[in-house]
Amino acid sequence: MRLKCVIFEPKQTVVENKSRHKNIWMKAVKNKYFIASVLFLAWIIFFDENSFVSHAENKRRLNELNKQKAYYQERIEADKQKLEDLNAGKKELEKFAREQYYMSKPDEDLFIVIEE
C-alpha cells in the first residue's frame, strides 16, 4: 500500500490574484507581437477596404437592391399584361382610354363620381 502525501498550500488572496493578472496583461501589452496583432485586427475590422463594417454596409445595400429588383420585375410583368390588352384590339384600347384618361365621344357626357 502506498501512502500519498498531500500538502495544502494557503490560497492566494484577492489582492495577490489581481496583481498576478495585472502582471500578465502588462507583459502582453509590452510584447511587440501582441501590439502588432491588435493593430492588424483593428485595421482589418475598421479601416480596410474590405472591412467588416463595409461588408455589413454592402450586405444591407444588396438586400435593398434585391427588393427593388423584385418590385420592378412585378411592375414589368403588369405593364406587359397591360400592353397585351391594349394591342388586343380597338375595343380594348377605347375602354382603356375611357377608364384611365376619362375620354369620351363627342356626343357623350362624362360624369366622375368620387366615393367618400
Contacts of 96 by beta carbon, 8 Å cutoff, 6+ apart: 82, 85, 86
The structure's pTM equals: 0.52
pLDDT in tens, 24-57: 777 777 888 888 999 998 888 888 888 888 889 9
| Closest CA relative to residue 98, chosen from 88, 81, 114, 86 | 86
Q: Is the pLDDT of residue 11 over 70?
A: no
Cα 19 to chain centroid, rounded: 44
**Which letter does DSSP use for residue 77 in this model?**
H
